[in-house]
Amino acid sequence: MSTVIAIANQKGGVAKTTTAVGLSGALVQEGYDVLAIDLDAQANLTIALGINPSQVRRSVADIFVNAEKLASLIQNTNLPGLDLVPANKEMELSERFVPLRQNHEVLLRQQLSVSEISSVYDFIILDCPPYLGAITTNALVAAHLLIIPTQAEYFSLNALKNMIAQVKTIRQSFNPALTYRILITLRDLRNRVHRTMSEQLLSTFANGLLSTSIDLDTKLRESSIAGMPVTYCYPKSRGALQYRSLAMEILEYVRQKNLIPA
């Protein structure tokens, strides 16, 4: 079976998509087959993997609105080993119409469990929208592991509390095995507030905080423009090194939790 990793935070601008792309690229470098799924109407993951969302005719929205099979929506990217289910603006409709469907919380989990997907990909990465709606709920119900990217800033810490509360709700109702790890992103160690908040995060969430942090790096933005993960565009950059470190830490974690694909 595939290991499903959701990347979510109700706050925008915390490098969710950057993390989805960076982690996906690093896992491919380690020899794993990865499927990235763009669940956000902004379609930033789709853009970052080299596909123009305005030219996407069939997107992930079709599984929620039109009951299409997710396996039929998969596209190749420029990187062998990394495939994509793209998004476009039709995802805005999904958030409105999904709650009208029966058992809507498990729609994505049912799609990911089919053999055409679970037997092909080692990892499935879900890039979630920046709010706690029906689509993010679907991602958390489907996931084995949630990564919560967060800046070491006050408003990010406040949103983090809401995410962890949502995890508890999902565990109680749909997915008792869901685990989470917090990833500090956009870190600037020259910034005293970042240093202080990083220490507070470590103190408060010691058992849930990833050892790897992601620092500010312009190469991360440039790689998105190029349509390739930073680990391939700029393999010696700080961002590439840190996302490879993140992949190693995630691989060790899912092994310990017996989530690693056979």
- What is the rounded distance in angstroms from the CA atom of residue 51 to the CA atom of residue 64? 21
Contact 74, 46 (CB under 8 A): no
- Residue 261 falls inside a structural domain: no
Q: DSSP E strands: which ranges in 53-199?
A: 75-76, 82-85, 123-127, 145-150, 179-187
- Residue 89 falls inside a structural domain: yes
Which CA distances in Å does 28 have to 81, 85, 125? Answer: 6, 16, 12
State both tokens at 179: 């685990």
- Residue 262 falls inside a structural domain: no
- Residue 66 falls inside a structural domain: yes
Contact 33, 69 (CB under 8 A): no
Range of the domain at 154: 3-256
- What is the rounded distance in angstroms from the CA atom of residue 17 to the CA atom of residue 40? 10
Give, for all 262 residues of the chain, the pLDDT tens digit: 899 999 999 988 899 999 999 999 999 999 999 999 999 999 999 999 999 999 999 999 999 998 899 999 999 999 999 999 999 999 988 888 899 888 999 999 999 988 789 899 999 999 999 999 999 999 999 999 999 999 877 677 777 888 999 999 999 999 999 999 999 998 776 666 666 777 777 767 777 889 899 998 889 989 988 899 999 999 999 999 999 999 999 999 999 988 755 4
Output the pLDDT for position 168.
95
- Residue 202 falls inside a structural domain: yes
Lateral strand order in the sheet of 75-76: 75-76, 82-85, 34-38, 123-127, 3-7, 145-150, 179-187, 209-215
Output the pLDDT for position 51.
94
- Residue 10 falls inside a structural domain: yes
- What is the rounded distance in angstroms from the CA atom of residue 198 to the CA atom of residue 2? 32
For residue 103, the Cα-to-chain-centroid distance in whole angstroms is 23
- What is the rounded distance in angstroms from the CA atom of residue 9 to the CA atom of residue 7? 7
Q: DSSP E strands: which ranges in the chain?
A: 3-7, 34-38, 75-76, 82-85, 123-127, 145-150, 179-187, 209-215
- CATH number for the domain that contains residue 227: 3.40.50.300
Output the pLDDT for position 216.
84
Question: Which position has the token pair 């476009």?
Answer: 88
Q: Give the predicted TM-score (pTM) of the model.
A: 0.94
- Residue 250 falls inside a structural domain: yes
- Residue 117 falls inside a structural domain: yes
- What is the rounded distance in angstroms from the CA atom of residue 160 to the CA atom of residue 242? 22
Output the pLDDT for position 262.
42
Domains in the chain, number:
1
